[in-house]
Amino acid sequence: MVLMTAYLCGSEGSRLALPKNADLPKISRTVWTLGLVSMFMDISSEIVHALLPLFLTVTLGTSVALVGVIDGIAEATASISKVFSGYLSDRIGRRKPLILLGYGLGALSKPLFALAAGPVPVLGARLIDRIGKGLRGAPRDALVADVTPLEIRGRAYGLRQALDTVGAFAGPLAAIGLMAIFSDDMRAVFWVAVIPGLIAVLLVIFGIEGHRDKLAPADARVPLRIANLRKLERGFWLVVCIGVMFTMARFSEAFLILKANEDGLPLALAPLVLVVMNVVYSLGAYPAGAFADDGGAQRPLFYGLACLVAADMFLASRLGMVGTFTGIALWGGHMALTQGLLAQLVAERAPEALRGSAFGIFNLATGITMLAASVLAGVLWDHAGPSATFIAGGGFAGLAALLIWCRQIVSSRRRGGIR
């Protein structure tokens, strides 16, 4: 409510921000609007996603491995979409049309979950939802960079991510209440998820200006070719590699829900998993961005990896519900420390004319990796148990730490690396 009130009271002439230093530039109202749009769409999506793994396994009778396949295919599809949307937003010089189309598809997908009678229709709904996410993701992240000065870019990404994550825990909380109201009828709960999705679409239509976002004229931007990738520096490709290793270590959050349910969490309280994770994520995202602005990216990335390794160890242990929810909270801490920061690093390491395309490439790489990670996690779960799934995640987190250490060595030898 505090963030919402601050946004509504703001104006373009007196933009709002939360920096400690009064002489820093102010965060654009566009960033606030994008954050609120993300928040409402996340409320809509997380009402569904908080229940979907159990809807698949309990109501529809699918295996855990199939849950991983569905989730992985959906995320990979989103990432492929991001490549084209990022490139198109660079070419046409406008971000809003693709952002609107993406959120529109996200809202359109919600009734399909309520109507699904088997895993294939669920996959279809997930594909529509994730294509929408793919279409809006790269242009949205690029727009944040377009309207934000470099010195507060970490704060801007942190703020948008924090508002996004408010939705990510408000949605599961709503799902818990709706499950009580509808006597555990998950299909009825899915119907209610349509409402916040429509609010998000209306915010895009009326809250984001349709101007050309500081991009070069269309005729100055050449078509995307392999040769153009040479304009992306080595530092950008190393950020992509780091993002890939992070993704292998943090497969779909569906496995967190399944782990808590296996440890005895009742069906109606399953969304509590995402509530705990996203409360920590939301509280930490903006401070993590400010931390990176003030002290560089290296330390927050290492802290994030430490949180992820600790989370995997707690989740792999047999400490019961206390150990599981400790791991879930640490998982949220790792997300807060790393996700907005990785977006910031992509923006910093890409030429302005290729910024949308750079986000698309980054998201393609991490999305395909999410498919592999989720399938591997599901197979390990079915054949070796939940502990093996989380131990493997911890191992990939260690490899990501090694990559960051290598990046530090490269940065010390090259001008303009990750600080």
Give the pLDDT confidence score for residue 407 in this predicted structure. Answer: 62
The superfamily (CATH) of domain 28-214+224-413 is MFS general substrate transporter like domains (1.20.1250.20)
Contact 300, 401 (CB under 8 A): no
Whole-number average pLDDT of the chain: 79
Burial of 292 (0-12, 13-18, 19+ CB in 10 A): buried
SS in 3 state form for 71-133? HHHHHHHHHHHHHHHHHHHHHHCCCHHHHHHHHHHHHHHHHHHHHCCCHHHHHHHHHHHHHHH
Contact 239, 349 (CB under 8 A): yes
pLDDT band at 10 (very low <50, low <70, confident <90, very high): very low
DSSP string, 165-216: HHHHHHHHHHHHHHHHHTTT-HHHHHHHTHHHHHHHHHHHHHHS--S--SPP
> Per-residue pLDDT for 2 more than 60?
no
> Per-residue pLDDT for 285 more than 70?
yes
> Per-residue pLDDT for 9 more than 90?
no
- Candidate from 20-24, 137-141, 205-209 with smallest mean pLDDT: 20-24
Mean pLDDT, to the nearest integer, of 60-79? 81
More confident residue, 142 or 171: 171
Contacts of 70 (CB under 8 A, 6+ apart): 56, 62, 119, 122, 123, 126
Measured CA to CA, the distance from residue 395 to residue 339 in angstroms comes to 19
Give the pLDDT confidence score for residue 218 in this predicted structure. Answer: 46
Give the pLDDT confidence score for residue 413 in this predicted structure. Answer: 62
For 109-119, what is each residue's pLDDT tens digit?
999 999 998 88
| Structure tokens belonging to residue 62 | 């699918």
pLDDT band at 11 (very low <50, low <70, confident <90, very high): very low
Mean pLDDT, to the nearest integer, of 200-228? 63
pTM of the model: 0.65
For 354-411, what is each residue's pLDDT tens digit?
776 777 788 778 878 888 888 888 889 888 888 999 999 888 888 877 777 776 666 6
Give the pLDDT confidence score for residue 409 in this predicted structure. Answer: 66
Domain residue extents for the chain = 28-214+224-413
Give the pLDDT confidence score for residue 239 in this predicted structure. Answer: 83
Mean pLDDT, to the nearest integer, of 54-72? 84
Kindly state the percentage of the chain with pLDDT values over 70.
82
Give the pLDDT confidence score for residue 19 in this predicted structure. Answer: 42
More confident residue, 357 or 194: 194
More confident residue, 175 or 93: 175
Which of 47-51, 91-95, 354-358 tops mean pLDDT? 47-51
Contact 48, 174 (CB under 8 A): no
Give the pLDDT confidence score for residue 25 in this predicted structure. Answer: 75
Number of Cβ within 10 Å of residue 342's Cβ equals 21
For 233-254, what is each residue's pLDDT tens digit?
777 888 888 888 888 887 778 8
